[in-house]
Structure 1
Amino acid sequence: MKLNCDMGESYGSWQMGDDKAVMPWVDMANIACGFHASDPDIMSDTVACAVEHQVTVGAHPGYDDKPGFGRRSIPHSPAAISHLVAYQTGALDAVCQLHGTSVSYVKPHGALYHDMMAKPDVLNAILAAIAAMNRLRPSPLSLMVLAKADNSETETAAQAFGVPLLFEAFADRAYDEAGNLVSRSQPGAVHHDAARIKQQAMELASGTVTTHSGSVLALHADTLCVHGDNPESIATIADIRKAIAL
């Protein structure tokens, strides 16, 4: 199972995460594209670091919301959603060309990601943008979405647009019996214990997850999302990398 991590989310002199320490341990870098965080210099530095470590680059577009770090849902028409995804992905892809690489997939950020998984019109707008961009690309962009116990609705929508999907899971989030993430507003929604996170990563790599009520659920995922905001979390990523490689 591949590890993906949100990166390039600093802005000017404001620093978010330690990308250089995380990059050697991951396979896929979801790089912010300037709307919820980042700027051209940070985008370029992050892409260069990904190229150095042979990490696949993905676009991480979000709502135009730096004060809220893209975590606030902002109403848009479907056309406007398509435009903001294409605009940000295209900007990152241009920066990638400076470093001899290209964007391989799209993973929406924050509220846009949650809206995509909850609202069919947002999902369809994102798929429409990716499908249009794929018409002139030598290899198609994929869309990264949340792995659930039942992915049929998302798969049907993606097939209609001809867009490949990547399913992701989370080692540090609690799951309910339907395979959904437990809301952050609920107690125990986020795991903080390194041993618990590592255990869940190993479960997910084998195709299962233990829900917050203790039941075991089958869950297929192509990639595992990890976070490297501090030295402790970076050490956990390294442990996960080693554990799932066994």
Structure 2
Amino acid sequence: MAMRVDLNADAGESYGRWTLGDDARLLPLVTSINAACGFHAGDPATMRRTIRLAREHGLALGAHPAYPDLAGFGRRELRASATEIADLVTYQLGALAAFCAAEQVPLQHVKPHGALYVRVARDAEAADAVAAAIRAVDPTLALVYPAGDAADALERRSGIRVAREAYVDLDTGDDGIVVVEPSPRRRDPAEVAQRALDAVRGRIATVGGGAIETRVDTICIHGDAPGAVDNVNEIRRRFAAEDVEPRPLADVLR
């Protein structure tokens, strides 16, 4: 039987007249997307357009809430209490959910963005705050979270589904947390694809030369990274050769 894994991409990260990423080319190649909700990117028109693209390509749609940091693209750490984080997530979920209702597209998961993602990965109180916000808004939504022991613990504590994620176009620290780059650099597609295969097989390499052995449900490709389309094409080529089937996150978590 083919192994299954979700390929997710951050999308809808343009804002007004400024365009970031090539969603039109990238989205047909992935299986799930995380749509910006206005705090780091994604104005209302872009949110609606992104939802329509998700529907057109049959993608699982998730919310991508962030710190309120348009200038820093949500990649700068901001001081926020757990209560404030829960409110930030609730607010952004509400905005995207309204557009989803208008376009009749279901919302299936939540993935914190940038510095908020790192905060949630390192801070159990912040992670619990995000999980509580999700549970209050829609307990059927899954939370995308770094693969590893902390994901297992969060799922037990929160009672919501947790999708375990690996990054293949960014480095992973020895603590299992992604190393956020303010401006993602171009990567060798062959290297990215090999990382994806390793992740599917349960191994995530770390910057110190070690590895984390863990289950992975979804693999992230950054839409704003140079060469994103080349990276996904090479991943799909290698997956086809190794009998790995890309499937939407909702199918992988069943």
Flag whether TM exceeds 0.5 (same fold).
Answer: yes
2:121–2:177 CA contact under 8 A, matched in 1: no
| 1:75 to 2:72 alignment | no
SS in 2 for 1:58: strand
- 1:40-59 aligned within 5 A: 40-59=44-63
Q: 1:129 to 1:20 in 2, by over 3 A?
A: same
CA distance in 2, matches of 1:101, 1:183: 30
1:166 corresponds to: 163
Deviates further, 103-112 or 213-222: 213-222
CA distance in 1 between partners of 2:112 and 2:173 (Å): 22
Query: 15-24 vs 231-240, which deviates more?
Result: 231-240
C-alpha distance in 2, partners of 1:93/1:178?
33
Task: Kindly state the Cα deviation for residue 156 of structure 1 after the two structures are TM-superposed.
Answer: 2.7
| Structure 1 residue 158 displacement after superposition | 3.1
**What residue is the counterpart of 1:194 in the other structure?**
189
Q: For residue 7 of structure 1, what is the aligned residue in structure 2?
A: 11
Q: In structure 2, what is the equivalent of residue 127 of structure 1?
A: 131
- 1:64–1:160: structure 2 CA closer, same or farther, 3 Å change rule? same
Unaligned 5+ residue runs, structure 2? Answer: 244-254
Q: 1 CA distance for matches of 2:208 and 2:76? A: 29
Residue 222 of structure 2 is aligned to residue 227 of structure 1:
yes
Aligned counterpart for 2:233 among listed residues 224, 238, 242: 238
Question: Using CA pairs below 8 Å that are at least 6 residues apart, which structure has the higher relative contact order?
Answer: 2
Greater alpha carbon shift after TM alignment, 83-92 vs 227-236: 227-236
Given that 1:228 and 1:237 are in contact with CA atoms closer than 8 Å, whether structure 2 keeps it comes out as no
What is the CA deviation profile of residues 156-187 of structure 1, one whole-angstrom value per residue up to 9, with x for unaligned ones?
Answer: 333232111001101123335554445759xx
Contact 2:151–2:164 (CA<8 Å) still a contact in 1? no
Q: How many residues align?
A: 236
Task: Report the TM-score when normalising by structure 2.
Answer: 0.85
TM-align CA RMSD: 2.2
Identify the residue that residue 246 of structure 2 maps to in structure 1: none
